[in-house]
Amino acid sequence: MSLLPFNRIKPPVAEPAAPQRPCAWRVGLCLPGLGADPPVAMLSAMFPAVTFRGLDTPWPERAAQTFDLLIVGLDAADPAGIDRLTARLSTCVGRIEVLVVMRDADVELTRRLIHQGAADVLPAPVTDTALAIALERIFCRLDTGRAQRRSGEIITLLKAGGGVGATSLAVQTAVRLAANPGSGGVCVADLDLQMGAAALYLDIPDPVTLAQVLAAGGAVEEMSFASALKAHRSGVSVLAAPNELMPVESLNPALVDGLTAALRRDFEITLVDPPTVWTAWTNRLLRQSQRILLVTRLSVPHVHLVRRQLHMLSAQRLDDVPVTLICNQVEAESASGLSLKAAQQAIGRPFDLVIPEDRRLMHQAIDQGVSLASVRRGSKIEAAIGRLAEMLAPTGVMAAVGMER
């Protein structure tokens, strides 16, 4: 019986297909500033995958964010118009491209507008060729940006001792992230080769395990995890720890490189839960991570262990990987008498997030393999994990669901 659930990614075919614009960009032409006859038909014929819409307004105030690119007119002799455009550009930076067609253009104003974020400034009257070349350049830039965003993030959990709640936070945060409408795929990869329990925490029957991945042989980076992994009902894909104990040395840095490359290709966010030990491959995993979540509890021994982990990150020259410091299971009345303030002082940096203790709710969610909200809505711990998901979600996703970061 084959235990290999993976389809290999096919090698590139010899005859490459004709290049295609990957995204259907939406372009708004603000007609009042653009003269009598903007070439909408010509542009639609030239860029068939792009949607061009003529708008009867100099600027589509509320609808602006429904466009990827706005083409607007400007009269260089109209100071009030220049001020309005400057203010609008500042609200668009990084979200909407703006191509300005300017009457009586001068070099100084052109440079100023570009500096303020305009994608390009063309002097009016603009020829069809000049417009097409400028648009092609902007679309290429948008295409590249979208392609780069498709390279997902590896977020690795690091513990200040066993039982701090790392696996619980990984699965609950993943479920929360997967609920975002714009989510491009969320995965939990349990690399805790001996004690991993992420698939149990999500109650995934018969999950694909790391042991199966390793037994499959061949290049891990060629495996299609997006199609092979089983998903929780929330949509979170899970790469489970082996069913039987495996030696920690079953993984190595090269395998970690392949695995992280494949997971970044297949998922927008992968939360990785490694074993507590430091080895060459866990070191490589941290190096390959875009973020580390360092989870601790509020006690004197845990504060010491956080310091030890932060020192280790520094000693391993991993201190350029951003660390989000989380204090989990914080009781209303600290049993040890240690205050958050004292703990932060001892650690030398503030906690980025404090997650309250709610043993009963967390146990119920884990036992049923569901989200905290499915057990009980509106708890403090659910709100805190929501904040963690907001910190980790790619900017575009949070914008899509209208959440503040």
Rule CB under 6 A: choose which of 363, 380, 383, 401 binds ligand ATP.
363
Contacts for 268 with CB less than 8 Å, ≥ 6 apart: 150, 152, 153, 183, 184, 185, 186, 394, 397
* 3-state SS track over 33-91: HCCCCCCHHHHHHHCCCCEEEEECCCCCCCCHHHCCEEEEEEECCCHHHHHHHHHHHHH
Strands 237-239 and 69-75: unpaired
**CB-CB contact of 53 with 28 (8 Å):** yes
Q: Is 163 in the site for ligand ATP (CB under 6 A)?
A: yes
* Chain residues 151-170 in contact with Mg ion, contact rule CB under 5 A: 167
Q: Is 359 in the site for ligand ATP (CB under 6 A)?
A: yes
Q: Is 167 in the site for ligand ATP (CB under 6 A)?
A: yes
**CB-CB contact of 210 with 190 (8 Å):** yes
Cβ proximity to Mg ion, 74 vs 191, nearer residue: 191
Q: Is 309 in the site for ligand ATP (CB under 6 A)?
A: no
Sign of CA pseudo-dihedral 193, 199, 200, 205: negative
Please name which of 296, 292, 360 lies closest in space to residue 323, comparing C-alpha atoms.
292
Read off the DSSP letter of residue 395.
H
Cβ proximity to Mg ion, 52 vs 201, nearer residue: 201
User: Half-sphere exposure of residue 274, counting CA atoms within 13 Å on the CB side?
Assistant: 29
Shortest Å, Cβ 102 to Mg ion: 59
Q: Is 297 in the site for ligand ATP (CB under 6 A)?
A: no
Which of the choices ligand ATP, Mg ion, none does residue 358 contact, using the CB cut-off of 5 to 8 A by kind? ligand ATP
Shortest Å, Cβ 161 to Mg ion: 11
Q: Is 282 in the site for ligand ATP (CB under 6 A)?
A: no
Residue ranges with strand state E in 67-201? 69-75, 97-103, 120-123, 153-159, 186-190
Which of the choices Mg ion, ligand ATP, none does residue 270 contact, using the CB cut-off of 5 to 8 A by kind? none
Q: Is 213 in the site for ligand ATP (CB under 6 A)?
A: no
Q: Which amino acid is at 363?
A: H
Cβ proximity to Mg ion, 50 vs 191, nearer residue: 191
Residue 202, classed as helix, strand or coil, is: coil
As a residue count, the chain comes to: 405
Cβ proximity to Mg ion, 110 vs 167, nearer residue: 167
Taking residues 111 to 150 in sequence order and writing x for each that binds ligand ATP by CB under 6 A, - otherwise, the string is: ----------------------------------------
Sign of CA pseudo-dihedral 361, 209, 156, 312: positive
Which of the choices ligand ATP, Mg ion, none does residue 182 contact, using the CB cut-off of 5 to 8 A by kind? none
Which of the choices Mg ion, ligand ATP, none does residue 398 contact, using the CB cut-off of 5 to 8 A by kind? none
CB neighbourhood size of 152 (10 A): 21
Q: Is 382 in the site for ligand ATP (CB under 6 A)?
A: no
CB-based closest residue to ligand ATP: 165
Shortest Å, Cβ 16 to ligand ATP: 46
Residue 314, classed as helix, strand or coil, is: helix
Which of the choices Mg ion, ligand ATP, none does residue 359 contact, using the CB cut-off of 5 to 8 A by kind? ligand ATP
CB-based closest residue to Mg ion: 167
Q: Is 357 in the site for ligand ATP (CB under 6 A)?
A: yes
Q: Is 371 in the site for Mg ion (CB under 5 A)?
A: no
Q: Which amino acid is at 270?
A: T
Binding positions for ligand ATP, rule: CB under 6 A: 159, 162-168, 195, 276, 328-329, 355, 357-359, 362-363, 366, 381
Binding positions for Mg ion, rule: CB under 5 A: 167
